[in-house]
Amino acid sequence: MEHFKDAHYFHIPSQGNIYTVTDLKLANGTPILLAASLKREIFCIEYLESSSGFLVSTTKEVSFTYIPSGAEIISIDAFNKSTTNNELVIGITIIKNSSDSDTLETFLNIYCQLEENEDFDIENIAQNCLNVELNFIPYKLLHTHLITWNDCSILGKEIVFVLSGSDNQVHIFQENTTDHVYREIDAKEYFPEFGKTASPVVWIDIQFINNFEERVTAFGCECGYVKLMKINTKTNKIVYNFSVRFGNYISNVYLYREDKIKSKYKIQKIIGVNNSSESAGNSQPILNMIVINSILPAVIFRDVLTYGLSDYATLPRHDNSTILTSCVVADIDFDDEKEILLGNSSEEIMLIKYDKGAKNWFLEELKLIAAPVLCIKYIDLTGDGVKDLVVFSVKGIHVLQYDHHYINEQLNKKIDSVCIPTISNTRESAI
């Protein structure tokens, strides 16, 4: 990962956790990062263009209402309800001591931009709070689509909050558009995969396939129990159901698609060559799942739509004493093969690649970070068209950017690979 350079660092006054960072895009494509600490501080991080045309990093602490003194932030999530304007929704779960007793009070605070607007005003959003009292300790907060059908056409694609809790259940919160409040709905009716588990669900990942006709849900629990299910969104019936139990705490479950059409077929499509026989049958994606064990090695399950949990491999690790915390999968070296990046408590990012010859995964490189890693994101935070490696550590946000010489080199290689050879070059190669 030597082609990544330390671009910026944003200090967080107090430590966060694996749930307290989220990103979203505004209607104009501008990326925003929200990072929270356990001690009530929430920061909005973005890059703005200066009058001279340069990108300037800005960090602003945002004072969200209804987060009382002494409360701790557990998790945060955000999304934009509109595709044309900014209609942002931010969810924050908090826990605080009750003033009357030693019991704990927990809440889901939902902050909404009441009207669609082209302008982004985080301060205004932070003042519009919908408060939902919880009767459990919150864990992972995320959002997904609630799909409703009318025969063969999608009737609605509403975004709902998904929240796991200490009561060994997963809760769904839906907006009532009439009175602008969020209420919990019956998870079993709309998300039958979320039944009661043996221990709290630590992480959830959801993917939609086949034009939203099917939903693939994976989650991992504190006790090491991992479940993978496919649901038909038209009938809300479980198509298949697999589970496995590991012997320790699960810190992350990650679903990702593996491209079935290789780069040479993409090139043929670009230059107009018809190769339907090679690309036929690629409607169903290859979906892989990575399970991050906190102490034991991570495990990758390949093509879970075909093999379930029967085709798996163990990912390497170099230090058995470190705790694995986070995962992201991306083609960071532009070789048309995705790499796995794991964050750990030893202040490292582990780069794991696949060796096609040996048919196994190997640890290629370690990237040192100045603090234990809580979360990794591969997003275009700077808005320059090239994704950045954003690392959330116990001390702050680290933004790693590609070296521009490396990007130019890779871009030239891609251009050369899709260019149609000239007649003279063809003759020379034939000779």
Model pLDDT, residue 283: 65
* Alpha carbons 182 and 174: distance in angstroms, whole number: 5
The predicted pLDDT at position 100 comes to: 62
Inter-residue contact 207 to 144 (CB < 8 Å): no
List, in sequence order, every residue forming a beta bridge with 142; answer none if it has no partner. Answer: 162
- Look at residues 386, 419, 417, 420 and name the one whose alpha carbon lies nearest to residue 401: 386
The whole-angstrom separation of Cα 166 and Cα 221 is 11
pLDDT digits (tens, 9 = 90+) for 38-51: 888 999 999 887 77
Q: What mean pLDDT, rounded, does the chain reach?
A: 88
pLDDT in tens, 387-420: 999 999 999 999 999 998 999 998 898 888 877 6
User: Of all helices (H) and strands (E), which one includes residue 428?
Assistant: helix 423-430
Q: Rounded distance, CA 375 to CA 356, Å?
A: 28
Mean pLDDT for 320-336 is: 92
Burial class for 220, CB neighbours closer than 10 Å (0-12, 13-18, 19+) = buried
pLDDT for the residue numbered 279: 41
Residue 94: exposed, middle, or buried by beta-carbon count in 10 A (0-12, 13-18, 19+)? buried
Top pLDDT among 323 and 428 is at 323
* pLDDT of amino acid 267: 41
pLDDT in tens, 253-290: 999 998 754 444 444 444 444 544 444 444 678 999 99
Q: Dihedrals φ, ψ of 418, to 5°?
A: -105, -5
Q: Rounded to whole angstroms, how far apart are CA atoms 5 and 356?
A: 29
> Containing H/E element for 209?
strand 201-209
Which DSSP helix (H) or strand (E) runs through 423?
A: helix 423-430
CA diameter of the chain? 90
Backbone angles phi, psi at 76, to 5 degrees: -145, 145
Question: What is the rounded CA–CA span in Å between residue 97 and residue 16?
Answer: 19
Mean pLDDT of 330-358: 94
Question: For residue 425, what pLDDT is reported?
Answer: 54
Q: Give per-residue pLDDT as tens, 131-151.
A: 999 999 999 999 999 999 998
pLDDT of 51? 74
